[in-house]
C-alpha cells in the first residue's frame, strides 16, 4: 500500500471539506464554492495496510483484519465503525476495503480513530486474538503531508507488533489544476470563513443529466428507495491506478405500495365480475343454481382480497419482507427481500459508471406451498380438467356433440367485453359533446364531434357484428325460463357445465376469425341434429326469433346514427346558406322548412335523435355484454373452484414480479435521462428485462421455478406511461397502477425538470412495452441430485424460450435502431457473437453451466436492459452471484488487476452490503451454507471461510 507518491497538487478530495475544520471547527458546517457536494461521496475515506506483523508463534504468519472504532469528545466510549476484509497468511497485508465516513457520521477534527489488528486463528469458528492497536485523530491525518500516517502497532502489553499505514484517498481533478492546500488556506474568505473550491466532478451527480443519481438525495429515487447502506473499496487496475468502488444496497417503499394498489384492483375486478353475472337476468333453475355456485366461489375470493388489503394497510414493519416471512399469509403479495444493489465505479481519469441490479426472493406462492407442482403444471392440469369435464358432459348427452370453447374464443370474449365497455362510454360521451355543440350553435365543434361520434359508433357496431357474439346471444336466450319451458334442454344438474346442446356450442357457429361480409350479422347454421323433430323445430323457431331481434337492435343503431348525420348535415347546410345572403337556395330551403334563429334550434332538432342513438347503443351494448358474460360463465363453470384457486396463486406470484419490475424501471429511467439512445430504444421496441434465477430443479425449488417462470412471462401484459408529477412531494412521485388481469398500466410520475428531458413521444403518453426473459441455472447440491437422479427439462425449456425471445428482441433492435445507440463496452466480443455463444451454451448439455448466467447478464447490460437476480430468498446464492458479477464487470470494463480478482471477490462477500443483507433477514452476518453444500457449488460461487454457517434461510 506504500504505492507511488503523488504530486502535492493532487489533493485528497476530503481536504476540500476537511480543511474547513480549522476555521469552522465542525465538519458538517462547510462553506463550499461548488453547487452542492455529492451526497454519495463520504466526507472522509482512507485505506489501511499493515507491515511486519508479528505473532507469538514465529513459524506462523498472521491471518489478519483491521477493526476501526471512533469516538468524538465529549463521548467517552468507543463505537465500532467498520472493519476490513480478512487477508490470510501474510505479515504485510494490503486491504482492499476502504473506511468511509459519510455525511451522517458527524465526525469532527477532534474525532479519534482507533485501529485494532486481529489475528484470526480459525475462520470457520471465528476464534481470534488482538495483535495490537494504534490511534490517531482526524486532524492529524489531514494535516500530515500527502495525508499519510505511519503508525506503530502495540500489543496490550505495549510491545511493538508491527506497523500500520493510513492513507486518505484522493480524486483526480478534471476541470482545472489547482494549487496545493497550503495556498488554499490563504485564499478568499467570506465573513471570516474560508471558501474552498470543489471539483465539479463531485457535484455533477446532483444534476438531472448525471450518469449516477443519488439513492439518498435524488427526489425521485428518494421517494422510491430508502434504508441505503454503503460500502467503499479501492481496487488496483492493470495500469497501476486505482478504482474507487461505492457499493450500495437499498430497500424500496414499493414493496408495500404496489401490492396495496394491485390487490385493490383485483378486488374491484372480481366484484365487477360478480355484478355482471348477477345482472344476466332471470335464468332457468339449473342455470340459476350454476350462477349461485359461481358467485359463491367469487365471494370467497373477494373476502380473501379484502382481508389481504386490511393486512397490508395494518402492516407497520420495515419496507421489505425478510426471508423468514416469505410464507406469511398476511404478506404473501409482498416480494421477499426486495432490494436494489448498486455499484458505482469511478476511475482516476474521471469517468463515473453505475450498475444496478434488482434482487428479489423467488416470486412464488410460498404460503400456499408447492406439493410437487407450481403454476406451469397447475395450468396444464386446469386445461386437462376442462377437457375432461366436456368429455363427460358429451358422453352424458343424448348423442349431441359437446364442444368446449377454444382458448381463443375466451380471449375474444374478454376483448369484446373490454371493447364494448370502452366504446359505449365513448359513444355516450361524444353524444353529450355533440348536444353541447348544438346548444352553442358551434358549426366547427358540431362537425368535428360528429366525425368522432360516427367513428366510435361504427366501431361499436363492427365489434358487435361477431358470429361468436351472435351464438352467445342465442345461448343466453336458450337459458331463459320461457325458452326452457318450451322444451330446450338445460344444463345437467349433475354437472357445473352448461348443456352442450345449445346452438352456440357447435364449433361451426362461432369461428375464431369471423369476417364481416355484409352490413348485417350473418345468420347461423341450424341447431344440431339428433333431437326429436318437433323439439328441433321449436328450437329453430325460437333461435330465429332471437336472431331477428338481435339483428333489429343492431340495425337500429346504424339507422339512428344515419338520422343524426343527416340532421346535422341539414343544419350545417342551412347555416352556411343563411350566412350567404346572395344565395337563392336560402329562400327555397326556407319555403320547405321555416327558419328559426333561436339559439336552441339546433339543440331541439338533435335532442330526440341523440337520445334514440344513445338508447339504441346502450341496448345493443348491454345485450352483447351480457351474452359475453354468459359465455365466460359457461366456460368457467366446470372448473370454477380450481380456476379461482389457481388464479389467486397466479395473482400472488405476479404481484411480486411486478413490484420488482417497477423498481427496476424507475431506477433505469432515472439513470438514463441523458442517454438518448436508450430513450429512443425504450419507446421504439420496449424495455428488455432479464431475470436471473439460481433455483435448482429439484424438490420445492422446482415448483418455485414453475411459479416464477409464469410470473415473469405475465409481465408481457404490463405497459408503462411516464407523466409529470403534480408536486415534489414524495407520495406524488410514487407509481400508480391501473387496469386488470388482461393488462396493467403503470404510471410513473417524474419531477418536471426530469420530465422535460424526455423525448416528445414519451412525454405525449406513449405506452412503453416490456420484453421479459428468464434464465435459470441451479448451482447448489440439490441441482446435483436433479442432474443425476431427477429432471432438468424445465430449466432447459425456460432457457431456450428466453433465448428465442432475446434473439427476437435484438432482431427488432437492428431493424429500427443503430448499433451506436447501445452502451460502449471494452469487450472484444460483439453483441451478435455474444448471443451466438449464449445460444450454444443454452443448447449444450453441460452440468451447472453458469456461463449461461454470465453471458445472459452481459447481453442484458449491453442491450440497455434491466437486471434482476433471484434465488429462494435473494440472500445467499444471490449474494454470491451479485458479487461475482460486480467483479466480472470491474475486470471486463474497468481493467481490474487480475491478480486481485479473487481477493476483491472475497472482500465484497465478507465486508460488502450483501453480508449485511443476511443480518437484515435472519439477524446473523452469515450466509446459509455449510461446507458439504459448498463442495457442490461452482468454485466462483463459494464464499470465504468464516462468512457462512448453519442459519435460517
Q: Which residues are catalytic?
A: 871
CA 149 – CA 134 distance, rounded (Å): 11
- Closest to 706 measured CA to CA, from 382, 383, 377: 377
Residue 463 phi, psi dihedral angles, 5° rounding: -60, -40
Sheet holding 64-71, edge to edge: 79-83, 64-71, 112-122, 127-137, 148-154, 160-168, 44-51, 99-101
Collapsing DSSP to helix, strand or coil, 211 comes out as: coil
CA 493 – CA 503 distance, rounded (Å): 19
Q: Is the Cβ–Cβ distance between 923 and 857 less than 8 Å? A: no
- Closest to 643 measured CA to CA, from 272, 273, 270, 297: 297
CA 866 – CA 868 distance, rounded (Å): 7
Query: For the packed helices 443-464 and 601-636, what is the interaxial angle rounded to 10 degrees?
Result: 20
| Contacts with 725 (C-beta within 8 Å, 6 or more apart), sequence order | 732, 733, 749, 750, 751, 752, 755
CA 947 – CA 145 distance, rounded (Å): 38
Run of H or E including 950: none
CA 827 – CA 892 distance, rounded (Å): 7
The backbone region for 393, taken as left when phi is positive above 0, alpha when psi lies in -120 to 50, beta otherwise, is alpha
| Contacts with 579 (C-beta within 8 Å, 6 or more apart), sequence order | none
Q: Is the Cβ–Cβ distance between 919 and 111 less than 8 Å? A: no
CA 365 – CA 657 distance, rounded (Å): 12
Run of H or E including 766: none
Cis peptide upstream of residue 74 (ω within 30 degrees of 0) = yes
Run of H or E including 819: none
Nearest 10 degrees: CA dihedral of 816, 821, 827, 828? Answer: 50
- Closest to 842 measured CA to CA, from 359, 887, 834: 834
The CA-CA-CA angle for residues 416, 418, 420, to 5°, reads 65
Collapsing DSSP to helix, strand or coil, 343 comes out as: strand
Q: Is the Cβ–Cβ distance between 397 and 742 less than 8 Å? A: no
Pairing of strands 242-252, 339-347: antiparallel
CA 767 – CA 686 distance, rounded (Å): 9
Where do the DSSP E strands lie in 529-674? none
Run of H or E including 741: none
Judging by beta carbons within 10 Å of its beta carbon (0-12, 13-18, 19+), is residue 888 exposed, middle or buried?
A: middle
CA 644 – CA 293 distance, rounded (Å): 13
Amino acid at each position: 500500500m506504500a504505492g507511488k507518491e503523488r504530486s502535492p497538487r493532487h489533493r485528497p478530495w476530503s481536504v476540500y471539506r476537511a480543511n474547513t475544520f480549522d476555521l469552522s471547527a465542525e465538519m458538517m458546517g462547510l462553506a463550499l464554492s461548488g453547487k452542492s457536494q455529492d451526497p454519495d461521496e463520504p466526507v472522509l475515506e482512507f485505506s489501511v495496510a499493515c507491515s511486519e506483523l508479528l505473532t507469538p508463534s514465529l513459524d506462523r504468519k498472521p491471518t489478519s483484519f483491521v477493526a476501526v472504532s471512533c469516538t468524538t469528545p465529549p463521548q467517552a466510549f468507543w463505537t465500532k465503525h467498520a472493519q476490513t476484509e480478512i487477508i490470510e497468511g501474510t505479515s504485510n497485508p494490503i486491504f482492499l476495503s476502504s473506511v468511509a465516513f459519510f455525511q451522517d457520521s458527524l465526525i469532527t477534527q477532534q474525532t479519534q480513530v482507533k485501529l485494532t489488528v486481529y489475528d484470526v486463528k480459525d475462520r470457520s469458528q471465528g476464534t481470534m486474538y488482538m495483535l495490537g492497536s494504534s490511534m490517531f485523530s482526524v486532524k492529524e491525518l489531514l494535516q500530515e503531508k500527502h495525508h499519510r500516517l505511519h503508525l506503530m502497532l502495540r500489543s496490550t502489553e505495549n510491545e511493538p507488533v508491527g506497523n500500520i499505514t493510513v492513507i486518505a484517498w484522493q480524486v483526480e481533478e478534471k476541470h482545472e489544476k489547482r494549487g496545493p492546500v497550503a495556498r488554499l488556506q490563504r485564499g478568499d474568505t467570506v465573513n471570516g470563513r474560508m471558501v474552498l473550491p470543489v471539483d465539479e466532478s463531485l457535484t455533477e451527480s446532483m444534476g438531472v443529466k448525471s450518469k449516477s443519481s443519488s439513492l439518498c438525495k435524488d427526489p425521485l429515487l428518494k421517494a422510491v428507495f430508502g434504508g441505503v447502506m454503503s460500502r467503499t473499496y479501492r481496487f488496483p487496475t492493470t495500469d497501476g491506478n486505482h478504482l474507487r468502488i461505492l457499493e450500495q444496497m437499498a430497500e424500496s417503499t414499493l414493496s408495500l405500495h404496489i401490492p396495496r394498489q394491485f390487490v385493490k384492483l383485483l378486488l374491484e375486478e372480481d366484484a365487477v365480475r360478480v355484478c355482471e353475472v348477477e345482472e344476466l337476468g332471470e335464468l332457468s333453475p339449473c342455470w340459476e343454481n350454476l350462477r349461485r355456485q359461481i358467485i359463491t366461489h367469487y365471494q370467497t375470493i373477494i373476502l380473501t382480497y379484502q382481508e389481504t388489503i386490511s393486512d397490508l394497510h395494518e402492516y407497520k414493519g420495515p419496507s421489505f419482507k425478510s426471508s423468514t416471512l416469505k410464507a406469511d399469509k398476511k404478506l404473501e403479495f409482498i416480494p421477499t427481500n426486495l432490494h436494489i444493489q448498486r455499484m458505482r465505479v469511478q476511475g482516476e481519469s474521471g469517468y463515473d459508471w453505475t450498475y444496478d441490479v434488482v434482487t428479489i426472493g423467488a416470486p412464488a406462492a410460498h404460503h400456499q406451498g408447492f406439493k410437487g407442482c407450481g403454476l406451469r403444471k397447475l395450468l396444464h392440469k386446469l386445461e386437462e380438467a376442462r377437457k375432461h369435464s366436456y368429455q363427460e358432459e358429451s358422453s352424458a348427452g343424448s348423442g349431441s356433440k359437446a364442444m368446449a370453447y377454444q382458448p381463443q374464443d375466451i380471449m375474444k370474449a374478454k376483448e369484446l367485453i373490454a371493447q364494448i365497455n370502452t366504446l359505449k362510454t365513448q359513444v355516450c360521451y361524444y353524444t353529450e359533446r355533440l348536444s353541447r355543440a348544438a346548444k352553442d350553435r358551434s358549426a366547427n365543434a358540431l362537425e368535428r364531434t360528429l366525425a368522432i361520434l360516427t367513428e366510435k359508433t361504427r366501431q361499436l357496431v363492427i365489434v358487435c357484428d361477431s358470429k361468436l357474439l351472435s351464438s352467445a346471444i342465442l345461448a343466453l336466450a336458450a337459458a331463459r325460463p320461457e325458452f326452457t319451458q318450451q322444451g330446450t334442454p338445460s344444463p345437467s344438474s349433475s354437472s357445473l357445465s352448461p348443456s352442450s346442446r345449445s346452438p352456440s356450442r357447435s364449433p361451426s357457429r362461432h369461428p375464431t376469425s369471423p369476417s364481416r361480409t355484409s352490413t348485417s350479422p350473418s345468420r347461423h347454421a341450424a341447431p344440431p341434429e339428433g333431437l326429436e323433430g318437433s323439439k328441433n323445430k321449436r328450437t329453430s323457431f325460437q333461435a330465429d326469433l332471437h336472431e331477428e331481434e338481435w339483428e333489429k337492435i343492431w340495425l337500429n343503431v346504424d339507422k339512428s346514427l344515419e338520422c343524426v348525420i343527416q340532421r346535422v348535415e341539414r343544419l350545417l347546410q342551412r347555416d352556411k346558406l343563411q350566412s350567404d345572403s346572395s344565395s337563392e337556395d336560402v329562400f327555397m330551403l326556407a319555403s320547405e322548412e321555416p327558419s328559426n334563429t333561436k339559439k336552441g334550434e339546433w339543440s331541439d332538432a338533435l335532442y330526440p335523435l341523440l337520445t334514440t342513438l344513445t338508447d339504441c347503443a346502450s341496448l345493443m351494448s348491454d345485450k352483447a355484454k351480457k351474452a359475453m358474460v354468459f359465455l365466460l360463465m359457461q366456460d368457467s363453470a366446470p372448473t370454477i373452484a380450481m380456476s379461482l384457486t389457481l388464479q389467486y396463486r397466479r395473482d400472488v406470484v405476479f404481484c411480486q414480479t411486478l413490484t420488482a419490475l417497477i423498481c427496476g424501471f424507475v431506477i433505469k429511467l432515472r439513470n438514463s435521462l441523458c442517454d438518448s439512445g436508450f430513450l429512443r430504444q425504450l419507446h421504439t421496441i420496449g424495455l428488455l428485462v432479464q431475470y436471473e434465477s439460481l433455483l435448482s430443479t429439484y424438490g420445492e425449488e422446482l415448483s418455485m421455478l414453475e411459479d416464477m417462470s409464469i410470473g415473469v412471462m405475465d409481465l408481457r401484459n404490463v405497459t408503462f406511461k411516464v407523466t409529470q408529477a403534480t408536486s415534489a412531494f414524495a407520495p406524488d412521485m410514487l407509481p400508480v397502477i391501473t387496469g386488470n388481469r388482461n393488462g396493467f398500466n403503470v404510471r410513473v410520475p417524474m419531477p418536471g425538470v426530469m420530465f422535460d428531458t424526455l423525448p416528445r413521444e414519451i412525454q405525449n403518453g406513449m405506452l412503453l412495452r416490456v420484453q421479459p426473459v428468464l434464465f435459470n441455472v441451479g448451482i447448489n447440491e440439490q441441482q446435483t441430485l436433479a442432474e443425476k437422479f431427477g429432471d432438468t427439462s424445465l430449466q432447459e425449456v425456460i432457457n431456450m424460450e428466453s433465448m428465442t425471445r432475446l434473439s427476437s428482441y435484438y432482431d427488432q433492435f437492428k431493424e429500427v435502431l443503430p448499433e451506436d445507440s447501445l452502451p460502449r463496452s471494452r469487450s472484444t466480443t460483439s453483441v451478435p457473437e455474444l448471443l451466438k455463444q449464449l445460444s450454444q451454451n443454452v443448447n449444450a448439455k453441460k452440468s451447472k453451466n453458469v456461463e449461461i448466467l454470465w453471458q445472459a447478464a452481459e447481453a442484458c447490460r449491453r442491450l440497455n436492459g434491466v437486471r434482476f437476480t433471484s434465488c429462494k430468498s435473494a440472500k445467499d446464492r444471490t449474494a454470491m452471484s451479485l458479487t461475482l458479477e460486480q467483479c466480472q464487470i470491474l475486470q471486463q470494463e474497468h481493467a481490474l488487476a487480475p491478480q486481485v480478482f479473487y481477493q476483491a471477490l472475497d472482500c465484497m462477500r465478507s465486508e460488502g452490503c450483501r453480508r449485511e443483507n443476511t443480518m437484515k433477514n435472519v439477524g446473523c452476518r452469515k450466509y446459509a451454507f455449510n461446507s458439504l453444500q459448498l463442495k457442490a457449488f461452482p468454485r466462483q460461487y463459494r464464499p470465504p471461510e468464516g462468512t457462512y454457517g448453519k442459519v435460517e434461510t
